[in-house]
Amino acid sequence: MTALRDTPLAAFTELRLRLTWRRLLGRRGIGELVAKVIAYLLLLPIGLVAAVGIGAGAYHAARGVRGGGVQGDIQVTAMFLGIWQAWTAASLAMQEQESLDLRRYLVYPLRPGMLWLHGQVAGLLGDPLALFWCVLLGGGLVGAALGRFGSWLLPLALLFLLFALATVAWLALIQEAGARVLRRARLKSVLFALFYVASALVAVVVAGFGKSKPSVRDLLAVFEVVQWVGWPGAMAAGAGRRLFHGDLVAALPWMTALAASTAAAGWASFRLALSEARDGGGAGTSTKGQGLGAVLGRIWPGPGGALLEREVTFLSRHPLPLVLSIILPAVAGLIAWKLQPYIPADSGEVVRALPILGVALYVHLATQSFWLNGFGWERGGARLYFLAPVRLEAVLVAKNLSVAALALGIELVAVALMVLAGGWPPAWALAGTLALHLGAAPWFFALGNAVAILNPRVAPLTLQRSGTLPALSALAGMLIFSAVAALFALPVLLALKLDLGWLLPPAWTLLGLGGGLLWWRSLPLASRLLAARREELLAAVTGDEA
């Protein structure tokens, strides 16, 4: 026992625990600690409720699908798809302060692989949402057990475990590879364009082979074939469907492929992390040319344009906007293609339009780190706002406008893909998704500015290691998002009752105008708060905590 306690790994574990403990009990850590406890307390019951829903789906799938059943297949696929995409999006946007920066510890005589694994496990244990996702998977297992008890539950439990590990490994790979590749501005732009153009071209060529006019559904069928390459959840879903059908032998190849891809993703992300750490974390970064930021800076002369140019340039160089620009529209398209057709035709036009309307708010949720922690990436640059003769209102306006432009861009691409995959929605739904998106934005920004000023925290300039939102801000974001969503849901209740979708665009426009007024009126208050809180803000983003 003493020998174990004296190992360098034990000392390393103690060091990390002490650092975490001190951080949580420090001047700024108490809020985070409280937020974390609240997050656990909130997420556990919500997770249990959601687990009951997932369990019910698994129960029906287990009882009804032996020998086949489309409905059961959809439930199994939706379970894996839903958990995977929500887990991935939340982990990319939220904070994992317990995760580890390999660079700081390479100096010690410890095996880097062990350090990396340590970081992954600590990141998982310190993330309340990880517990949430595991509770959901537990619900699926219990539901399946109640539906059809038997030995098939053992491979199913193993599949859930593999799925969780695969999601974590895949996330690590996205973060490491994304950060590495996306550091080069031109390569980033090329990749971004290639993703959509090449996907569309391959689909057109393959699906259109032998046909004169391939339909959109034909094109999407191609994606179904290649989706296994794209996300590990598809392999889990493939294995899951077969297990629920009672066909263990058919599920085994999928489970083996899932395990192999998990190991490969884990190994690759570790090698990338190690290589990144040994490079010093940023060697060779270069950027050429002037992007959208410079164009905007020319349109709006003076300090205001300079501030806007800086914000847009920053967003265009941060990897998260690019990842979100790829993942969110892709998931939206997937939903329009896979799930929307199963909404019953007699459920009313408002219910059928909910996916395209939901995307309008979801984009704001995914980009929340930029409006809830707007100063988190400034480092020393934040001092300039207080040293240069600029109005602090202009600083906030530039930050909000740039994030609004990013969110609107993602929303437009997502809606376009949803139309492509699911067909044209009613005109009011298109107007509605835009009205909802634009109308909700000022509400989020007005409230988000206060959070960004009151609880700033230094955030990484890359995707990998540690996230972007402090726990307290994430909690505040949850409350703000719920409140604004509830406000904008009020007209939906009326529209549902009357089954009159046309009510929504004007109602949301009115609410948006109210939000715009609130945002505009809040700017002087926010700027005074920013001036008063400058010491705390600078200490958080430029001081020791940075």
Partner 1 sequence: MLAIETHGLTRYFDGKAAVQDLSLVVEEGAFYGFLGPNGAGKSTTMKLLTGLLAPSSGRSSVLGHDLSDPKAALAVRRMVGVVPDGLSLFERLTGLEQLRLHGQLYGLGRAEAARRAEELLVAMELTGDAGKLVGDYSHGMKKKLALAGALIHGPKLLFLDEPFEGIDAVAVSGIRRMLQQLVQGGQMTIFLTSHVLEVVERLVTHVGIIQRGQLVAQGTLESLRGAGTLEEVFIRTIGEDVKERRLSWLSEPGETGE
List residues near partner 1 by CB under 8 A: 282-288, 297-298, 301-303, 305-307, 309-310, 313-314, 317-318, 377-384, 386-390, 461, 534-535, 538, 542-543
Distance CA 393, CA 30 (A): 30
Cβ closest to partner 1, residue 171 vs residue 526: 526
Q: Are the C-beta atoms of residues 43 and 132 closer than 8 Å to each other?
A: yes
Helix (H, G, I), strand (E, B) or coil at 247: coil
**Are 132 and 46 within 8 A, CB to CB?**
yes
Contact 523, 396 (CB under 8 A): yes
Least CB distance to partner 1 at residue 8 (A): 14
Report the residue number, 211 or 288, with the smaller CB distance to partner 1.
288
Rounded to whole angstroms, the Cα distance separating 316 from 108 reads 36
Q: Quote the CA–CA distance of 443 and 477 in Å, as a whole number.
A: 12
Output the smallest distance, CB 312 to partner 1, in A: 11
Residue number, 265 or 406, with CB nearest to partner 1: 406
Distance CA 401, CA 339 (A): 33
Residue 126 CB neighbours (<10 A)? 16
Torsion of CA 146, 152, 154, 158, to 10 degrees: -110
Residue 3: which residues within 8 A CB-CB, separation 6 or more?
Answer: none
Residue 157 or 306: the one with the smaller Cβ distance to partner 1 is: 306
- Considering the complex, what minimum distance in angstroms separates the CB of residue 382 from partner 1? 8
308's tokens = 């806007």
Least distance (Å) between residue 26 CB and partner 1 = 13
Q: Min. distance of Cβ 287 from partner 1 in angstroms? A: 6
Nearer to partner 1, 494 or 532 (CB): 532
Q: Which is nearer to partner 1, 218 or 536 (CB)?
A: 536
Residue 253 CB, shortest distance to partner 1, in Å, is 45
**Closer Cβ to partner 1, 390 or 478, answer by number:** 390
CB of 270 to partner 1, least distance (A): 24
| Two structure tokens written together for 496 | 């549902």
Q: Which residues have a Cβ under 8 Å from the Cβ of 254 and sit 6 or more positions away?
A: 235, 236, 238, 239, 242
Query: Environment class of residue 342 by beta-carbon count within 10 Å: exposed (0-12), middle (13-18) or buried (19+)?
Result: exposed
Shortest Å distance, C-beta 422 to partner 1: 37
Q: To the nearest whole angstrom, how small is the minimum distance from the Cβ of residue 219 to partner 1?
A: 37
Task: Please say which residue, 382 or 471, places its beta carbon nearer to partner 1.
Answer: 382
Q: Within 13 Å and on the Cβ side, how many CA atoms surround 331?
A: 26
Nearer to partner 1 among residue 183 and residue 352 (C-beta):
183
Tokens of 195: 């993703």
